[in-house]
Amino acid sequence: MDLTSDFDEVFIVALLAVANSDVSDLLPNACELNVLIVLDRSDSVKGGFNKSRQFVIDASDEMVIGPTHHRVAMIVYSGLSYRREVFPWNFAKSNEEFVRITNNLRAIGGTTNTKKALEVAIDVMAQRNKTIPTLIMVVTDGRSADDPKIPAQRLQQEPNTWVYAAATGDPEKVDKQELEDITGNPYHIVLHRGREHAADVARRLLRKAQLWSCNEASYHSVLSSNMHVRQELEDITGNPYHIVLHRGREHAADVARRLLRKAQVRCEMDLVLVFDFSTTTDPLIEYYKEMSKKLVQALRIGPHYTLVAAVTFATVGRTRTKFNLKRYKTQDEVMKAIDELESTGGTTAIGEGIREATKQISQKEGARPEIATKVMIIFTDGWVNKGPDPEEMKKVAIDQGFEIYAVSFVGPVPNMVHTNNEMLSVLAQDSMHIFTEKTFDQLIQKVKQRNLKCLSA
């Protein structure tokens, strides 16, 4: 039964049922990975080359491209008499560089000579880092003018190597047998109507490679939105509770993402900095900013690491999210944004600041539920005279998964008011979560522990 061709409007992908002992037969078993992309731009895919190219870019979202994480090489091909482009290992040092180079690729037509492309792939593979696993993704419609089976078998036999094939066009027009010859495994074929669906599957393949490698977890999951395939899905998984059934592609895909994320290494962090910008803290604001920048400097910032948001509060009406979690992707951007924060003064509504900060649990704000740990750090002198009860707002934030720290600046500084230590005890998670500028390095070390796997990678 060919599920992908039976349902044009159904989002279906089988994430193969495996036991822990069989994981190595399916996917690489390492956090570092070689990824070789073999991209067809011949006449047979010419009209859809933009989709294939975008598929590769979309799938790269799940990689951390660079010499210490995912080392990428790429072969772009068509006919024997047409120029092939061969990009060696580590040609892109970052995701941004990879996207820029890939976006500049153009369709040139010609016949489809996948056999020759795979022979070139054998040469490229000889230059790889053989101490880490390799995933090969061949993006083609499988309509080659020559038979790619022999070089494909050589690639399949390479140690610690997994070969996949992807087609982004109409499944009815794809030579599925050739794709199976390329991969040596029918379950290693990504076959979907539409670039977005295929890219989503490829992202999950890459993510699954990382999940199993770093956590040795395994899943028996199948997505479908057509109820009459339930029995076949149960036969595949061997367990009715390992079947995810949903009407609607987006809903089903979202369920799959959540299942996979549960096994992900928890080095990501969503960090929310909350600044008291009321009148009493005017002498302290620059110190708050310097402490927060010192923390950011100690962390690895980025979509796969720590994301940072900033909230400032004074009176209820002057409480604002200055930038949310999805706004900035680099350390320099976050540091600059903190530098640009300015106080408007006013009364002090700490509870309102916490309530505003808790909004950063939303994916719309850039949060990564079930992946990232949540940390909230409140910089304040502890005085409150307006707004909702800070203790109640703290409880809500903790219920939403935040770990909460309270930080004060004890000085002395001219014109500062003394710190309300009693309120700091109310705001913080517990007495071990209260810090001053004198102990702030200890806080940095505590928070940094959550990011440590990323820092040492």
Are 78 and 109 in contact by the 8 Å Cβ rule? The answer is yes
CA 378, 383, 387 angle in degrees (round to 5)?
Answer: 80
> HSE of 422 in the Cβ direction (CA atoms, 13 Å)?
2
Nearest Cα to Cα of residue 444 among 200, 221, 202, 271: 271
Q: Is 216 left (phi over 0), alpha (psi -120 to 50) or beta?
A: left
Question: Sign (positive/negative) of CA torsion 27, 33, 34, 38?
Answer: positive
* Count of alpha carbons within 13 angstroms of residue 82, beta-carbon side: 21
Domains, the chain, with CATH or none: 33-209 (3.40.50.410), 269-453 (3.40.50.410)
Q: Judging by DSSP bridges, how do beta strands 221-224 and 13-15 pair with one another? A: antiparallel
pLDDT by residue, tens only, the chain of 457 residues: 333 333 332 233 333 322 232 333 344 544 688 999 999 887 655 457 788 888 888 888 778 898 888 999 999 988 776 778 999 999 999 989 999 999 999 877 777 789 999 999 999 999 999 989 999 999 887 778 888 999 999 999 999 899 998 876 666 777 888 889 999 988 788 765 444 445 555 555 565 555 444 443 333 333 333 444 455 545 545 555 445 444 444 444 554 455 444 444 457 899 999 999 999 999 999 999 999 999 999 999 988 889 999 999 998 888 999 999 999 999 999 999 999 999 888 889 999 999 999 999 999 999 998 789 999 999 999 999 889 999 999 999 999 999 999 999 998 899 889 899 999 999 999 999 999 999 999 999 999 887 776 555 4
At 233, which helix (H) or strand (E)? helix 230-237
pTM of the shown model: 0.51
- Cα three-residue angle 352-355-359, rounded to 5 degrees: 140
The reply to whether omega before 414 is within 30° of 0 (cis) is no
